[in-house]
Amino acid sequence: MGNTVGSRGELSARQKEILVGTLLGDGHLEKNGRYSRLRVDHYDRHKDYIFWLVKELAPFSLKPRHISEVDRRSGKIYSRWHFSTKSLPIFEEFRNLFYVNKKKRISLALLRKITPLSLAVWYMDDGFRRRDSKGFYLCTSSYTVKEQNLLQLILQKQFALQTKIHFQHELGRIFIPSAFADKFNEVIKPFVLPIFTYKLL
């Protein structure tokens, strides 16, 4: 979404919120020359989400690309949509916030930066709803248990959400139980794209 703030080479407040949510999920920043750029990949069915990000992060976005790859073991073809931003100094703030020694990390510095929009983007990017209950999951297995506990603390302080850590094959993820599912749903619903309504209550 182009805006006068963005046209001067600065991220708007809304763009920063979206960037935080994306980086909490599958999005990542990579060094490309002197500065960093955001990279996001999703399967075909989430094409609308990729194009939404492209629009929201304009004028810093590059044109998305459709990529097809053949699995050498199975011979199956997998398709996905990829997009990245330009490499710019405006992303260094977020590299410093999220990365330590080139690895994505979570710290309490995120406490006041995760807004309802950020939470919704995080969930659209890397969350799902349980089918046997009203519970929700945020996929956080790439983070340490300590970092997941920090995210639990942030969710409690920012949104009064009580959560648990569920483990599957020794990989943990944040679980929002039925008792807090309606509250979570209420916070994110205004921002969730139509293609993700199946993830809502």
For the chain, residues classed under CATH 3.10.28.10 are: 1-100, 106-201
Class of CATH domain 1-100: alpha beta
Give pLDDT, residue 77: 87
Q: Which two tokens stand for residue 198?
A: 């199946």
Question: Structurally, what CATH architecture does the domain formed by 106-201 represent?
Answer: Roll (3.10)
Phi, psi of 111 (to 5 degrees): -50, -50
Give pLDDT, residue 170: 86
pTM above 0.85, yes or no: yes
Cα distances from 59 to residues 10, 84, 85, 148, 158, in angstroms, run 10, 12, 9, 33, 30
**Residues of the chain under the 70 pLDDT cut:** 1-8
The H or E element spanning position 83 is strand 77-84
In angstroms, rounded to a whole number, what is the distance separating the alpha carbons of residues 133 and 115? 26
Token look-up 């648990």 returns 164
In angstroms, rounded to a whole number, what is the distance separating the alpha carbons of residues 104 and 116? 22
Model confidence pLDDT, tens digit, residues 130-168? 999 899 999 999 999 999 999 999 999 999 999 999 998
